Amino acid sequence: MSKHQKCSIFYILFVSSGLSSISANNREYHFVNMKKTWVDVQSYCREKFIDLATINNADDNQKLLSLSQNNVWIGLYREPWTLWSDNSNSTFNNWDDKQPNNNPAQQECGSLLAATGKWHDSQCETLYTFFCLKCPAFPQEPKEAAGWGG
Ligand SMILES: [Ca+2]
Protein backbone atom coordinates (compact mmCIF):
# COMPACT_ATOMS: atom_id res chain seq x y z
CA MET A 1 0.00 0.00 0.00
CA SER A 2 1.40 3.36 -0.98
CA LYS A 3 1.71 6.27 1.41
CA HIS A 4 -0.89 8.02 -0.70
CA GLN A 5 -3.38 5.20 -0.22
CA LYS A 6 -2.71 5.07 3.49
CA CYS A 7 -3.36 8.74 3.65
CA SER A 8 -6.63 8.39 1.78
CA ILE A 9 -7.85 5.62 4.05
CA PHE A 10 -6.97 7.71 7.05
CA TYR A 11 -9.05 10.53 5.63
CA ILE A 12 -12.01 8.25 5.09
CA LEU A 13 -11.86 6.85 8.62
CA PHE A 14 -11.48 10.29 10.07
CA VAL A 15 -14.29 11.83 8.07
CA SER A 16 -16.65 8.91 8.65
CA SER A 17 -16.03 9.21 12.38
CA GLY A 18 -18.02 12.42 12.24
CA LEU A 19 -15.34 14.42 13.98
CA SER A 20 -14.71 16.72 11.09
CA SER A 21 -15.98 17.79 7.74
CA ILE A 22 -12.43 17.94 6.43
CA SER A 23 -12.31 17.13 2.75
CA ALA A 24 -10.17 14.34 1.42
CA ASN A 25 -9.38 16.66 -1.46
CA ASN A 26 -7.74 19.27 0.70
CA ARG A 27 -4.06 19.32 -0.10
CA GLU A 28 -1.42 20.19 2.41
CA TYR A 29 2.13 20.99 1.43
CA HIS A 30 5.42 20.89 3.23
CA PHE A 31 8.01 23.39 2.05
CA VAL A 32 11.56 22.08 1.97
CA ASN A 33 14.19 24.79 2.00
CA MET A 34 16.86 22.77 0.21
CA LYS A 35 17.80 23.03 -3.44
CA LYS A 36 17.77 19.74 -5.31
CA THR A 37 17.29 18.35 -8.80
CA TRP A 38 13.77 17.23 -9.71
CA VAL A 39 14.63 13.54 -9.42
CA ASP A 40 16.24 14.04 -6.02
CA VAL A 41 13.20 16.00 -4.90
CA GLN A 42 10.93 13.17 -5.98
CA SER A 43 12.96 10.66 -3.95
CA TYR A 44 13.04 12.93 -0.93
CA CYS A 45 9.30 13.57 -0.94
CA ARG A 46 8.41 9.92 -1.48
CA GLU A 47 10.65 8.88 1.38
CA LYS A 48 9.59 11.49 3.92
CA PHE A 49 6.11 12.49 2.78
CA ILE A 50 3.71 11.29 0.08
CA ASP A 51 5.12 12.61 -3.15
CA LEU A 52 6.06 15.77 -4.93
CA ALA A 53 3.44 18.50 -4.74
CA THR A 54 0.45 18.01 -7.02
CA ILE A 55 -1.79 20.90 -8.00
CA ASN A 56 -5.32 20.13 -9.08
CA ASN A 57 -7.03 23.50 -8.93
CA ALA A 58 -6.49 27.23 -8.54
CA ASP A 59 -6.82 27.02 -4.75
CA ASP A 60 -3.94 24.56 -4.58
CA ASN A 61 -1.86 26.80 -6.82
CA GLN A 62 -2.61 29.86 -4.71
CA LYS A 63 -1.67 27.99 -1.57
CA LEU A 64 1.73 27.11 -3.02
CA LEU A 65 2.26 30.63 -4.32
CA SER A 66 1.54 32.10 -0.91
CA LEU A 67 4.12 29.77 0.66
CA SER A 68 6.82 30.11 -2.01
CA GLN A 69 9.85 32.28 -1.55
CA ASN A 70 11.82 30.90 -4.46
CA ASN A 71 10.99 29.09 -7.64
CA VAL A 72 10.02 25.55 -6.72
CA TRP A 73 9.66 22.17 -8.33
CA ILE A 74 6.19 20.76 -8.72
CA GLY A 75 5.34 17.14 -9.44
CA LEU A 76 4.62 17.58 -13.12
CA TYR A 77 6.83 16.22 -15.85
CA ARG A 78 7.28 15.90 -19.60
CA GLU A 79 4.71 15.23 -22.31
CA PRO A 80 1.82 15.40 -22.14
CA TRP A 81 2.16 17.39 -18.92
CA THR A 82 -1.02 16.03 -17.41
CA LEU A 83 0.50 13.16 -15.44
CA TRP A 84 1.79 13.97 -11.98
CA SER A 85 4.55 12.33 -10.00
CA ASP A 86 1.97 10.43 -7.92
CA ASN A 87 0.40 9.07 -11.15
CA SER A 88 -2.69 11.20 -10.78
CA ASN A 89 -4.10 13.01 -13.78
CA SER A 90 -5.14 16.60 -13.81
CA THR A 91 -6.77 18.82 -16.37
CA PHE A 92 -5.86 21.92 -14.37
CA ASN A 93 -2.81 23.85 -15.47
CA ASN A 94 -1.30 27.25 -14.86
CA TRP A 95 1.32 27.56 -17.59
CA ASP A 96 2.94 30.91 -18.17
CA ASP A 97 2.63 32.48 -21.61
CA LYS A 98 4.43 30.38 -24.24
CA GLN A 99 5.19 27.61 -21.74
CA PRO A 100 5.96 24.76 -21.86
CA ASN A 101 8.44 25.73 -24.57
CA ASN A 102 11.26 23.22 -24.12
CA ASN A 103 13.68 26.06 -24.77
CA PRO A 104 16.62 25.83 -24.93
CA ALA A 105 16.19 22.05 -24.63
CA GLN A 106 15.50 19.09 -22.39
CA GLN A 107 13.01 20.92 -20.23
CA GLU A 108 11.11 17.94 -18.93
CA CYS A 109 10.20 18.96 -15.38
CA GLY A 110 7.63 21.42 -14.09
CA SER A 111 8.41 24.39 -11.87
CA LEU A 112 6.35 27.12 -10.27
CA LEU A 113 7.62 30.71 -10.35
CA ALA A 114 7.50 32.38 -6.96
CA ALA A 115 6.87 35.79 -8.49
CA THR A 116 3.70 34.85 -10.36
CA GLY A 117 2.63 31.32 -9.52
CA LYS A 118 2.86 30.49 -13.21
CA TRP A 119 4.33 27.21 -14.38
CA HIS A 120 7.39 26.67 -16.55
CA ASP A 121 9.03 23.62 -17.99
CA SER A 122 12.62 23.57 -16.76
CA GLN A 123 15.69 21.42 -17.05
CA CYS A 124 15.39 18.68 -14.44
CA GLU A 125 18.98 19.14 -13.29
CA THR A 126 18.25 22.67 -12.11
CA LEU A 127 18.50 23.08 -8.34
CA TYR A 128 15.26 24.40 -6.86
CA THR A 129 13.61 24.34 -3.49
CA PHE A 130 10.35 22.41 -3.45
CA PHE A 131 7.11 21.35 -1.84
CA CYS A 132 6.14 17.85 -0.85
CA LEU A 133 2.56 16.65 -0.61
CA LYS A 134 1.59 15.52 2.87
CA CYS A 135 -1.50 14.38 4.72
CA PRO A 136 -3.47 17.29 6.18
CA ALA A 137 -2.96 18.02 9.83
CA PHE A 138 -6.13 17.11 11.64
CA PRO A 139 -7.66 19.59 14.04
CA GLN A 140 -7.69 18.66 17.70
CA GLU A 141 -11.31 19.69 17.96
CA PRO A 142 -14.01 20.13 15.38
CA LYS A 143 -13.84 23.61 13.97
CA GLU A 144 -16.79 25.85 13.37
CA ALA A 145 -17.19 26.26 9.67
CA ALA A 146 -19.25 29.41 9.73
CA GLY A 147 -19.06 31.28 6.50
CA TRP A 148 -17.92 28.33 4.47
CA GLY A 149 -20.03 27.23 1.60
CA GLY A 150 -21.44 23.75 1.36
CA1 LIG B 1 10.53 26.60 -20.37
With helix as H, strand as E and coil as C, how does the chain read?
Answer: CCHHHHHHHHHHHHHHCCCCCCCCCCCEEEEEEEEECHHHHHHHHHHHCCEECCCCCHHHHHHHHHHCCCCEEEEEECCCCCEECCCCECCCCCECCCCCCCCCCCCCEEEECCCCCCEEEECCCCCEEEEEEECCCCCCCCCCCCCCCC
For residues 128-150, give the mean pLDDT.
69
What distance in angstroms lies between residue 35's CA and the mean position of ligand 1's atoms? 19
Query: pLDDT digits over 59-108, tens only?
Result: 999 999 998 889 999 999 988 898 899 998 878 999 999 999 999 999 99
What distance in angstroms lies between residue 67's CA and the mean position of ligand 1's atoms? 22
- The pTM for the full model equals 0.77
Domain residue extents for the chain? 25-134
Query: pLDDT digits over 11-59, tens only?
Result: 666 556 555 444 445 678 999 999 999 999 999 999 999 999 999 899 9
What distance in angstroms lies between residue 15's CA and the mean position of ligand 1's atoms? 41
Check residues 132 and 146 and name the one with the higher pLDDT: 132
What distance in angstroms lies between residue 115's CA and the mean position of ligand 1's atoms? 15
What distance in angstroms lies between residue 80's CA and the mean position of ligand 1's atoms? 14
| Residue 140, pLDDT above cutoff 60 | no
What distance in angstroms lies between residue 114's CA and the mean position of ligand 1's atoms? 15
Superfamily of domain 25-134: Mannose-Binding Protein A, subunit A (3.10.100.10)
